[in-house]
Amino acid sequence: MADGGIGAAITRKEDRRFLAGRGTYTDDINRPGQVYAAIVRSPHAHARVKSVDVSQALAFPGAVAAFTGADMAADGVGGLPCGWGITQIDGSPMAEPPHPVLQAERVRHVGDPIAVVLAETRNGARDAAEKVAVEYEVLDPVIDTARADADGAPRVHDEARNNICFDWQIGDAGPVDAAFAKADKVATLNLINTRMATCAMEPRAAVAEYESGTGHYTLYTSSQNPHVIRLLLGAFVLNIPEHKLRVVSPDVGGGFGSKIFHYAEEAIVTWAAAKVGRPVKWTAERAESFVSDAQGRDHVSKAELAMDGDGRFLALRVSTHANLGAYLSSFAPLVPTYLYATLLAGQYATPAIHATVRAVFTNTVPVDALRGAGRPEATYLIERLVDEAASVAGLDPAEIRRRNLVPPDAFPYQTPVALAYDSGNYAETLDAALKDGDYAGFETRRADAKARGKLRGIGLAAYIEACGAAPSAIAGQLGARAGLYESAEVRFHPTGTVTVFTGSQSQGQGHETTFAQLITERLGVPVENVEVIHGDTDRIPFGMGTYGSRSLAVGGSAIARATDKIVAKGKKIAAHILEASEDDIEFSAGTFSVAGTDRTLSIGEVAGAAYVPHNYPLDELEPGLDESAFYDPANFTFPAGCQLCEVEIDPETGTVEVVDFTAIDDFGRIVNPMIVDGQVHGGIAHGIGQALFENCVYDGASGQLLTGSLNDYCMPRADNLPSFRTDTRETLCPHNPLGVKGCGEAGTIGGAAAVMNAVADALKPLGIGHIDMPASPYHVWQAIHQSRNKTA
């Protein structure tokens, strides 16, 4: 193998351009003659639109055009589609109200788009947009997740009675009820999983152009899955045949889920480009991102755990309200169901689980997948509940976990909530975290902190996630309206260099490096001779994009399959040239050889022969060395691990400081340890962010987003984070060709739970029970203050 294959911590190929400011993001793309779009958005959370008058906007100097929902309707533009349907408990389909691109009749959240104004300059478009006169009849909004279904609550959609999108369940209630009836002990917890904004560093942007001569559209958009955007936009919204629509996603500066979805602005600029015959560009401002990017989480849950006298889990019962916001975002129904409740077994061999989920509409920004998507919500619920159970059972939190883990010899392990875990060794990651984080020595550190006036706490999170949702056939039965495979093409050039075309779409994860390392490993081509191409529907085969930590497990496996085909064809070519039987050809580290001889051909020479087929078996083999593969996994992958967090709380101010963080992860085989470490670091920061800082706060009466800027929505910063102690353990995924599991979300999935368990542990000596996220200074101080008032 050439240097740089699997296991090599080589630096990222893409960082040369990113660090030098040479990346190309969507806003860097400018097309000749382009105009700029500004979106007129609702300032109200809920209102009837009585009239929209664009005449003053059109009169503004430099204004080019202005369009409303009525204009789009007149052109037969469809609504934004939802990619997942849920069947309710009673067998009926979920409520699926229409989601117009521009609202003509009613607005349902602050930021809901009403009109678009095009002008010669970006600033001019904004100026002109302010001249659009909209007359509203303001209606009462419904905001609160837990009370959205109350009788008499304002109704978001006529199609959804009591604002209920669906009632859904998983697991079997009978055995759960029976187990609770005979339980020795029960732990109960009511908890809120806060709503998060994604805050990708690069705001969403879209540039569209239309070639009237050919009828071709091109949309440049900051997306995690350009083919899915092409499908949804072309087939459902604008009725553009896919061969006439090209979607390009160049460098993407962070997505975290929010750039999976098909958004109104993509449809608006594409449609408008044809209307005015000029390219149209839109770039979100940060304030616009806060009210138009899908947000994440927002659950209110009750969780109960039944135990026997030894603290062994007998049954878990969960009831969750999930807020979907004002409309169904592209994959919204999937998140609080099959990505959430199916993970409620966690790492534990709980024999009976039953969960019900009621998804509700509210007058808030739509909610969809955000880093972890359902799995952080599940992990937070279980891991907080297990700590509560430890308290109820009088057991150490590490010990109660150990007693209940799925044992290493139980795989494949069928949970009571549909998933079959394929491999893992949960005791190993738990033990490693306890050892590396010096769990045994904690009480000394707690005492030291106390002497300094600080409350120190320690918290565990033993997480599991399901990555690379699969297989497509099962997903289809569960409501998916798309497949979940991935595509790859491995193209040798005549001189032996390689271009890889992948349907995975990097948002900064380092695919160009990791995927090149797969080629190095499997075909012996040096990393610098491999180029990875993604993000252009005219260049790459139909692909499903990047989310759910699927790129390596699914996209990488597709590349592996394509390399197998390259080797198979290469053997035929080598056999011909080396005048040997194909069965005698061996391939290793980039060299074909005749077994037992010193006769060899490099893969570069084979590629040369394939493209200059002078000495070539043309009668039985096509020229060229270029192979494609589509890979549809047999199952999810199941990364798992254990995080151990220590915090110190200043009881006078309520400030929580994360002082130590250990993460032991099992991601299966690791291709580039440095990239994996980076993903873990970012993930943990995201988890700490939710636990301590981030929170979307809506005013309950007006529906205004009170945290609509980075002055109020608190993102974690470098000085909020400790140095992380990370390490990995390895159990291979048995069903994909690489043995890989995925690493992009793990840090976030466990992170919030580990921090909040540590916070709860620190506050326990004051008699404080569960507090909800974020554990901001103010919230923590309130809890301390109230407890002192109680005891005073």
Partner 1 sequence: MYEFNYRKAASLDEAKDLFSKGEDAKYMSGGMTLLPTLKQRLARPSDVIDLAAVPDMSGIAVTGDTVSIKARTPHAVVAANAEVKKAIPALAKLAGGIGDPMVRNRGTIGGSLANNDPAADYPAAIVGLGATIHTDRRTIAGDDFFQGLFETALEEDELIIQVDFPIPDKAGYMKFPNPASRYCIVGVMVSSKGGNVRVGVTGAGACAFRVKEMEDALKANFAAEAVEKISIPDGDLNSDIHASAEYRAHLVTVMAKRAVAEANG
**Closer residue to partner 1, CB minimum distance, 711 or 791:** 711
Nearer to partner 1, 331 or 693 (CB): 693
| From 262-270, 469-477, 540-548, 709-717, span contacting partner 1 (CB under 8 A) | 709-717
- Coil, strand or helix at 783: helix
CB of residue 549 to partner 1, shortest distance in Å = 29
Is residue 444 near partner 1 by the rule CB under 8 A?
no
Nearer to partner 1, 10 or 38 (CB): 38
List 712, 765, 786, 790, residue binding partner 1 (CB under 8 A): 712
Report helix, strand or coil for 191: strand
Q: Which two tokens stand for residue 423?
A: 């491999």
711 near partner 1, rule: CB under 8 A: yes
Q: 529 or 776: whose CB is closer to partner 1?
A: 776
Question: Per the structure block, which two tokens stand in for 404?
Answer: 């209940």
Nearer to partner 1, 202 or 388 (CB): 202
**Residue placing its CB nearer to partner 1 in the complex, 197 or 430:** 197
Q: 658 in helix, strand or coil?
A: strand
Q: Which is nearer to partner 1, 18 or 778 (CB)?
A: 778
Residue 49 near residue 104 (C-beta atoms within 8 A):
yes
Helix intervals (H) in 75-136: 122-129
Q: Which of 710, 767, 769, 788 binds partner 1 (CB under 8 A)?
A: 710
Q: Which of 785, 786, 788, 790 binds partner 1 (CB under 8 A)?
A: 785
Closest approach of partner 1 to the CB of residue 778, in Å: 5
Nearest approach in angstroms of CB 17 to partner 1 is 24
Neighbours of 291 (CB within 10 A): 22
What is the SS3 assignment for 490?
A: strand
Q: What are the two backbone dihedrals, phi and then psi, of residue 235, each rounded to the nearest 5 degrees?
A: -85, -30
Let me know: does 450 contact 456? Beta carbons within 8 Å: yes
12 vs 297, which CB is nearer to partner 1? 297
| Closer residue to partner 1, CB minimum distance, 70 or 710 | 710
CB 296 to partner 1: min, Å: 18
The only residue of 211, 310, 622, 652 in contact with partner 1, by rule CB under 8 A: 652
Does the protein bind partner 1 through residue 693 (CB under 8 A)?
yes
CB of residue 387 to partner 1, shortest distance in Å: 25
Separation of alpha carbons 335 and 261, rounded Å = 13
Within 8 A by CB and 6+ apart from 363, the residues are 45, 46, 108, 109, 141, 142, 143, 154, 156, 326, 703
Rounded to the nearest 5 degrees, what angle is found at the Cα of 763, between the Cα atoms of 759 and 768? 120
Contact mark string toward partner 1, 74..113, x via CB under 8 A: ----------------------------------------
As measured in angstroms, the least distance from the Cβ of 131 to partner 1 is: 13
Q: How far is the CB of 289 from partner 1 (least distance, A)?
A: 14
Q: How far is the CB of 712 from partner 1 (least distance, A)?
A: 5
CA–CA dist 428, 551 (Å, integer): 26
Identify the residue whose tokens are 């005048």.
Answer: 579
SS3 category, 2: coil
Number of Cβ atoms within 10 Å of the Cβ of 175: 16
Q: Which is nearer to partner 1, 212 or 711 (CB)?
A: 711
61: number of Cβ within 10 Å = 9
User: Of 105 and 712, which has the nearer Cβ to partner 1?
Assistant: 712
How many Å apart are CA 568 and CA 582, to the nearest integer?
9
Segment near partner 1 (CB under 8 A), from 302-310, 621-629, 667-675, 781-789?
781-789
Considering only residues 718 through 777, tell me which ones interact with partner 1, judged by CB under 8 A: 776-777
User: At 427, phi and psi to the nearest 5?
Assistant: -65, -35
**Binder among 71, 112, 127, 665 for partner 1 (CB under 8 A):** 127
- Binding to partner 1 by residue 121, rule CB under 8 A? no
Which residue in the block uniquely carries the two structure tokens 């007693």? 403
- Given the rule CB under 8 A, which of 172-180, 346-354, 496-504, 705-713 is the region that contacts partner 1? 705-713
126 forms part of the interface with partner 1 (CB under 8 A)? yes
Residues in 333-352 that interact with partner 1 by CB under 8 A:
none
CA–CA dist 770, 238 (Å, integer): 49
In the set 782, 786, 788, 790, which binds partner 1 (CB under 8 A)? 782
Q: Which of 123, 190, 495, 615 binds partner 1 (CB under 8 A)?
A: 123
Count Cα neighbours of 294 within 13 Å in the Cβ-side half-sphere: 29
Could you tell me which of 545, 542, 490 has the C-alpha nearest to residue 246?
542
Query: What count of Cα atoms within 13 Å lies in the side-chain half-sphere of residue 230?
Result: 28
Q: How far is the CB of 334 from partner 1 (least distance, A)?
A: 31
**Which CB, 60 or 84, lies closer to partner 1?**
60
Interaction residues for partner 1, span 569-628 (CB under 8 A): none
Encoded amino acid at 398, one letter: A
Q: Of the candidates 472, 600, 707, 787, which one interacts with partner 1 according to CB under 8 A? A: 707
Q: Where does 264-344 have alpha helices with state H?
A: 264-276, 286-292
Work out how close the CB of 785 gets to partner 1 at its nearest, in angstroms, rounded to a whole number. Answer: 8
627 SS3 class? strand
Rounded distance between C-alpha atoms, residue 571 and residue 553, angstroms: 27
Instruction: Using the minimum distance from each CB to partner 1, give the nearer residue, 24 or 782.
Output: 782
Please identify which residue in the block is written with the tokens 């597709």.
558
Q: How far apart are CA 372 and CA 382, in angstroms?
A: 15
Between 197 and 640, CB nearer to partner 1: 197
**Cβ distance to partner 1 smaller for residue 638 or 693:** 693
Here the tokens at position 136 are 């509203």
Report the DSSP pairing between strands 656-666 and 724-729. parallel
Query: What would you report as the CA-atom Rg of the chain, rounded to the nearest whole angstrom?
Result: 27
Instruction: Indicate the residue among 123 and 597 with the shorter CB distance to partner 1.
Output: 123
Pair of tokens at residue 140 = 């009462």
The distance of closest approach from Cβ of residue 773 to partner 1 in the complex, given in angstroms and rounded to an integer, is 13
Give per-residue burial for 528-543: e unless 16+ CB within 10 Å, then b. Answer: ebbbbebbbbeebbbb
Residues contacting partner 1: total by CB under 8 A: 22
Contacts of 73 (CB under 8 A, 6+ apart): 100, 104
Closest CA relative to residue 112, chosen from 369, 368, 366, 367: 366
- Among the candidate windows 26-34, 92-100, 123-131, 144-152, which touches partner 1 by CB under 8 A? 123-131
Site string for partner 1, 283-322 (x = CB under 8 A): ----x-----------------------------------
CA-to-CA distance for 450 and 446, rounded, in angstroms? Answer: 6
Q: What DSSP designation does 203 have? A: P
Q: Terminal CA-to-CA distance of the chain, rounded, Å?
A: 71
**Shortest Å distance, C-beta 122 to partner 1:** 11
Q: How far is the CB of 114 from partner 1 (least distance, A)?
A: 18
Residue 665 to residue 745: CA distance in whole angstroms:
11
Of the ranges 121-129, 244-252, 351-359, 446-454, which one interacts with partner 1 (CB under 8 A)? 121-129
Q: Which is nearer to partner 1, 50 or 286 (CB)?
A: 286
Q: How far is the CB of 695 from partner 1 (least distance, A)?
A: 9
Enter the DSSP assignment of 235. I
**Residues numbered 235-294 forming contacts with partner 1, rule: CB under 8 A:** 287
* Residues that bind partner 1 in the complex, under the rule CB under 8 A: 123, 126-127, 287, 652-653, 693, 697, 706-707, 710-715, 776-778, 781-782, 785
